[in-house]
Structure 1
């Protein structure tokens, strides 16, 4: 079963790849590696904003991280000329969590992205990762995640 079929089985339709909001490109391909710029938490009702440890809990943060993972896959699909099945594996994610100074569950928040990618891609979704806190993120979003991917 291909990636597109697995996503469909999960009820996930990849959106159009989000356009960059400033002077950068959404992804850069070097050989078989695609570097995807940070994707911010965004849902059907717009940006997912908030601060973990203040007005958001871990479960809400994990959902925000999942939305970032979906946007990352949308960018990979665009990099692959619309064929997400060219994705070989997720190499690394770097997750940024908008959180209070005393919040320490950043890894649990970014698990929302990691768990989704493993569910959608199987072993190809397993990756190296960093999960760090940030005192604020662009537009007040809860989570931003960048990624490195191998394609064929």
Structure 2
């Protein structure tokens, strides 16, 4: 099954590439690697604001991470033209806006990791880091960046 067919089966329509909110570009390609800038969680087109362990639970955070993964796929498609060119999702780095006592950043980040696996299969298996941080721009609950290899 093609990537586009998989996305359709999952009920996912990729968004257009977002305009950066500061002095950076959405992606940079060097050689066969594409580096995507961090994307924040959005809900209804606005930053998905919250802090895990204070006013959000793990399940909602996981939904936010999945939403970011969809945005990242939209940016990746804009960067490479066709997601079939993706050989591998290489690395995911996730920042989770967390209370000092919240320790489930890895479970929140599964929302993105599981979607990449569903879309790309074996090519979606990746190295990953998940950090708890004191704050994210605009009060967003999660921010994720991605590195992919293309052919």
Pairwise CA distance, 1:7: 0.7
TM superposition shift of 1:45: 4.5
Pair 1:140 & 2:132 matched: no
Aligned equivalent of 1:123: 122
Distance 1:6 1:42, change over 3 A: same
Q: Is residue 114 from structure 1 mapped to residue 113 from structure 2 by the alignment?
A: yes
1:47 aligns with 2:40: no
Aligned residue-pair number: 151
SS, match of residue 60 in structure 1: helix
Task: Report the CA distance between 1:19 and its aligned residue.
Answer: 1.2
Q: CA deviation at 1:35?
A: 0.3
Q: How far 1:43 moved relative to its partner?
A: 2.7
Q: Note if 1:73 corresponds to 2:73.
A: yes
Stretches of structure 2 that go unaligned for 5 or more consecutive residues are none
Name structure 1 gaps, 5 residues minimum: none
**Structure 1: how far apart are the matches of 2:49 and 2:4?**
29
Alignment of 1:15-94 (within 5 A): 15-81=15-81, 83-94=82-93
Q: CA deviation at 1:46?
A: 2.2
Moved over 6 A (4+): none
Q: TM-score when scaled to structure 2?
A: 0.97
1:68 deviates by: 1.1
